[in-house]
Structure 1
């Protein structure tokens, strides 16, 4: 597995800015408290001044009256900044704390330098939202909160079986004020989060847990697509409490976000690109980002696993792919379909100054576009606007198929079906996975795939004989894989 980057020293000494420490304020989520930040803060103390803030009813707050409104909450937070003489801060908010951070940034934009939103309760289908809130209300109104905590733990963290983690979360939920919890829940229910995100002028990164069962990566991507200056990153091996499950990776992305702003401030732009709206429509209708369905026009078939091959309408495009990062750029757009230009500068040319990275991207995109237009019958597979670069159309890719099949196999509960799915994956697995690609952004994808393959191989090794699937050479291949990855 790829080691976690050293986020205490993300840039070479020559590019590091000198100056006083900046201040970060952390706002916890509903039902939790500031004590849970203790897992994350050790990775931030060397770089920033750290302040924590408690929601009403969750700590040492002074708002005793009910009911209260979002403006009340914003006023209380601004008063907190004034009391602590904090003129400008970076906000890190989790859950409802992320909602409050967005509200505060809208209220006092000049005082909020950046937002890092962890597991933001943003876009979610109305029927799921209604049912989820009703369930939370019933559980909170019960006299015994043990059942509430037992049900919510698997949603919050992948470490829900850990006695220590269970104790820390339980302690928070046991001490929350019931009335204020329900009032905050009502504020969230009635809030138009998407409208808040659309109007944001603050540079923002949204981090979501890969295994969050409520605010899934897809739903979080929809929310992030509405943020004019937004970026989105999935944290592997984490559920909702990403800062508890993966504190180092959470700190890495937060620090990278803040440090990028310090070295290259982003221009304020409140316009929303058309691609963000179309992204929402595509995902909301349940379609894949890169597919328009069979027979919908020219088809782009891309193979990365066993060999590199690209065809448009069955006609291979054999040349030009080893020039101007054409292969790497195409792979990047497949894996990050809503990438912003800024994200591409950071990932593809991390060691170049902004102007050079902009020039390189423009040249490489022009070359890639000319390659894809061959035999495309006028279809534009590559959509380029001022902020985003997106692949579109009827696109098939063996790597995306593998990623999809791995997720299906990981989630499958039926033992026979799961075993059959695993063997099918091994039938089509290449000897070496994405060899020749060494950039950090692709290594992260490869690490995730290898982790899933290892988990499935262990499952097959332990349970394969208990299924009706016959043992054949594929099972031997799985055992060989395990020996190589022990």
Structure 2
């Protein structure tokens, strides 16, 4: 197949060459660096002042200490604009760099004239997103990044069999700092991109690759439809790295987008119609059904907090055994009623324990159903009581992460997993709970933490994440539990 580059006659209009030069700032994507823009910049130099920006841990700058947050990233970028006296710029961002460009436009809107978002990580089904991120984390933490690069390369470029292209991309991924990569990946995972796009007032064009297997043209079009002043264009013969696969087409659409603003003309050809409101309603309805409209978020580790479908339930949890019963159902999802009688009321006769369970279940049910939209979190039958719905709990996450870390054989992956566990570990684990069934769970967690702490003391130097980690917490833990 002949690429578009071979047949597209790129001649910018004379009006582009006659106007005063404006400034474009290029922000690369996660795991890459500014060197990869070299295919695109030759088509921009005659028209603009071109400035490149590196994400934390991706360039030659001092590695930013962990943790990294979106406010941190935005502050760094705005400081970069200040330092270089860049007050009226056009941002061109790829991947996570496109997310940062959107954040910057929301932070300092008067300084950002336009946005060109290349392969923006926007609308994507949550299950697919979660699995993709887990795969990337495991591959990135492996001792040899060759497997990671081999895995990701076909989704990035249609030229993945080219030795030159492979070498350039490989070099970028080999040089990126692992800890920063993982932190930025978490930012991407937790970011509400659609909410950001809805708030944009900056003229924006979104470019997507025709052959991008992750952010397909359909998904990119959905993302673009949320932008009030948004346009969308598919780049033929390109995968995710549209500027690498088709630099001429990418430059053409970026320049046309900027020129439209400069000439004060309105090009409505690719503007999103008002009918997209109906599309958004359908999407929201589908997501609502997919998750059963039931989202139960429970925090037990640092403090007790529970939200039902995003609404916090602050009261009623210290009555009628509600907090303990909820914790029991989380830890023992397959327990029978008889097991609950024995564990929760071991010193009561059966009839009295049955009555207590009935009263406590009714109270817990009434608490959970305040904002559950007529659906039930509690499923109660003659034999079992179980929680149902989309449930997230920090304690269950800790138990899951401990199990994975204990079983992990790869030293680098194990070390990185342990450091991530310790970053989120509370000072006191399940304090205030004295029941035998809770104490048994706490003892098991503390035994696993002790085993991992001993391992880390001996092997902690295997991970480059250890550079930014304070081992005092692990050593203090060992002293307290010896």
TM-score between both structures, scaled by the size of structure 1: 0.55
Task: Map 1:444-483 onto structure 2 (within 5 A).
Answer: none
Aligned mate of 1:4, from 4, 8, 14: 8
Counterparts in 2 of 1:230 and 1:59: CA distance versus 1, 3 Å: same
CA contact 1:36–1:244 (8 Å) conserved in 2: yes
Deviation at 1:99, TM superposition (A): 0.2
Query: 1:207 is paired with a residue of what secondary structure?
Result: strand
Question: Could you list the per-position Cα deviations for residues 349-394 of structure 1 after superposition, in whole angstroms to 9, with x for gaps in the alignment?
Answer: xxxxxxxxxxxxxxxxxxxxxxxxxxxxxxxxxxxxxxxxxxxxxx
Match of 1:158 in 2: 158
Correspondence for 2:275: 275
> Quick one: structure 1 residues 17 and 170, their matched pair in 2 at CA, closer, same or farther if it must change by over 3 Å?
closer
Whether contact under 8 Å (1:242, 1:250) holds in the other structure is: yes
Question: CA separation in 2, counterparts of 1:193 and 1:153?
Answer: 24
Q: Cα deviations across residues 6-51 of structure 1 (Å, max 9, x unaligned)?
A: 3422xxx4x5584420000000000000000000000110000000
Output aligned runs, 1:346-425, within 5 Å: none
Q: 1:89 to 1:265 in 2, by over 3 A?
A: farther
Q: Deviations over 1:174-218 (max 9, x none)?
A: 000000000000001111000000000000000000000000000
Partner of 2:99: 99
Closer, same or farther: CA 218–280 of 1 in aligned 2, 3 Å? farther
**1:119 pairs with 2:113:** no
Aligned twin of 2:256 = 256
Structure 1 residue ranges without an equivalent (≥5) = 287-486
Name the residue aligned to 1:374: none
3-state SS of paired residue (1:187): helix
Q: Kindly state the Cα deviation for residue 138 of structure 1 after the two structures are TM-superposed.
A: 0.5
Structure 2 Cα separation of the partners of residues 17 and 162 of structure 1: 34
Unaligned runs of at least 5 residues, structure 2? 287-482
Farther-moved stretch of structure 1 (258-267 vs 166-175): 258-267
Instruction: Kindly provide the CA deviation profile for residues 390-419 of structure 1, in whole angstroms up to 9, marking residues without a partner as x.
Output: xxxxxxxxxxxxxxxxxxxxxxxxxxxxxx
How much has 1:132 moved relative to structure 2? 0.5
Q: Which residue of 1 aligns with 2:148?
A: 148
CA distance in 1, matches of 2:95, 2:151: 18
Q: Which residue of 1 aligns with 2:238?
A: 238
The equivalent of 1:222 in structure 2 is: 222
Contact 1:94–1:120, Cα closer than 8 Å, also in 2: yes
Q: Judging changes above 3 Å, is the alpha-carbon distance between structure 1 residues 54 and 16 closer, same or farther for their aligned structure 2 residues?
A: closer
Distance 1:132 1:16, change over 3 A: closer
Q: Distance in 1 between matches of 2:284 and 2:217?
A: 13
**What is the CA distance between 1:274 and its match in structure 2?**
4.7
Deviation at 1:261, TM superposition (A): 0.6
Asked if 2 retains the 8 angstrom alpha-carbon contact of 1:237 and 1:245, the reply is yes
Classify the secondary structure of the residue corresponding to 2:197: helix
Distance (Å, rounded) in 2 between the aligned partners of 1:250 and 1:281: 31
The answer to whether the 8 Å contact 2:17/2:47 transfers is no
Map 1:43-62 → 2, pairs under 5 A: 43-62=43-62
Question: 1:5, 1:193 → 2: CA distance?
Answer: 35
Deviation of 1:278 after TM superposition, in Å, equals: 1.8
SS of the counterpart of 1:129?
helix
Q: Secondary structure at the match of 2:275?
A: helix
Task: Measure, in 1, the Cα distance between the counterparts of 2:31 and 2:273.
Answer: 36
Looking at structure 2, the residues matched to 35 and 113 of structure 1 have their Cα atoms a distance apart, in angstroms, of 24
Tell me the residue number matched to 1:198.
198
- Residue 251 of structure 1 deviates from its aligned partner by 0.4
Q: Computing the radius of gyration over CA atoms, which structure comes out larger, 1 or 2? A: 2
* Deviation of 1:4 (Å): 1.9
Alpha-carbon contact 1:224-1:232 (below 8 Å) kept = yes
CA contact (8 A) 1:203 1:266 kept: no
Match of 2:358? none
Kept in 2: contact 1:90–1:112 (CA 8 A) = yes
Contact in 2 for aligned 1:98/1:120 (Cα 8 Å): yes
Name the residue aligned to 2:130. Answer: 130
Q: Give the conservation status (yes or no) of the 8 Å contact 2:93–2:101.
A: yes
Residues paired across the two proteins, number: 278
Q: Secondary structure at the match of 1:58?
A: coil
Superposed CA deviations along residues 406-455 of structure 1, whole A, max 9, x for unmatched, are: xxxxxxxxxxxxxxxxxxxxxxxxxxxxxxxxxxxxxxxxxxxxxxxxxx
Instruction: Give the 3 Å change call, closer, same or farther, for CA 134–60 of structure 1 in structure 2.
Output: same
Q: CA deviation at 1:246?
A: 0.5
Alpha carbons of structure 1 residues 62 and 107: separation in structure 2 relative to 1, 3 Å: farther
Counterpart of 1:451? none
Question: Cα deviations across residues 203-259 of structure 1 (Å, max 9, x unaligned)?
Answer: 000000000000000000000000000000000100000000000000000000001
Partners of 2:265 and 2:84 in 1: CA distance? 26
In the alignment, what sits opposite 1:89? 89
